[in-house]
Amino acid sequence: MNRPVPTRLYLIRHAEVEARYHQVFGGRLDVDLSPRGEQQAETLAAWLQPTHFDALYASPMKRVRRTLAPLLARNGYQPVFLDALREVDFGAWTGFTWAEVRERFGKSPYNWLHELETGGIPGAEPLPAYRQRVATALDTMLSRHPGRNIAVVCHGGVIRMALAHLLELPLSKMAHFEVDYASLTIVAHRPGRPEVRLLNFTPWQSPA
């Protein structure tokens, strides 16, 4: 018996943000791209141009819209912007650098996934709500476009939560996966059998 054609999820992180927000817990801050980020977005769009997407979903935040602009200019896609794909709310950590988080809150910024999972960030988005909104968005996409190519342009935290949902793993386990700026991760999804086909590929570093 032939296996069903998998649905391919192209999980794409926005490009580099402006310099003043490097190593800052930006979360819900609506920041712009850096000049380097604009170049990354152009290279990413050129690399993705031969790929046909049957649907394109995106976070409405500025850094995602700016990353999308070169791809839309090339291919004319009509993205569906979903609030469910916004970055996680870091609560009291929002706007602080990694060093400031360590000084003010006595927590290692490198453990941010664990802190989100255990409620260790004051005022942050509760994990069940965060997981539910991302999972609901993904499940809706998969049900609407079976066997198709779906682009999901969003944020590093959202991609990690998407992988946690698809792979049925705790969010903290996603600390083992790097998700760089303007990176691409591909998951081939069959019901009950998701397969990560490409992880954290950055065309702007590896144009070949």
Residue 2 in domain: no
Q: Which domain holds residue 141?
A: 7-201
Q: What pLDDT band is residue 108 in, cutting at 50, 70 and 90?
A: very high
Residue 207 in domain: no
Which pLDDT value is given to residue 191? Answer: 85
Residue 208 in domain: no
> Which amino acid is present at 159?
I
pLDDT at 33 over 60: yes
Distance from C-alpha of 202 to C-alpha of 183, rounded to nearest angstrom: 5
User: CATH no. for residue 94?
Assistant: 3.40.50.1240
Which pLDDT value is given to residue 206? Answer: 66
What number is the average pLDDT over the span 86-102? 97
H or E stretch covering 133:
helix 127-144
Residue 49 in domain: yes
pLDDT mean across residues, the chain: 95
Which pLDDT value is given to residue 143? Answer: 96
Residue 131 in domain: yes
pLDDT at 85 over 60: yes
Number of domains the chain contains? 1
Residue 121 in domain: yes
* Tens digits of residue pLDDT in 56-78: 999 999 999 999 999 999 998 99
H or E stretch covering 189:
strand 184-190
Residue 171 in domain: yes
- The answer to pTM > 0.75 is yes
Query: Residue 49: how many CB atoms within 10 A of its CB?
Result: 12
pLDDT at 1 over 60: no
* Tens digits of residue pLDDT in 133-173: 999 999 999 999 999 999 999 999 999 999 999 999 999 99
Cα atoms in the Cβ-side hemisphere of radius 13 Å centred on 103: 5
Which pLDDT value is given to residue 2? Answer: 67
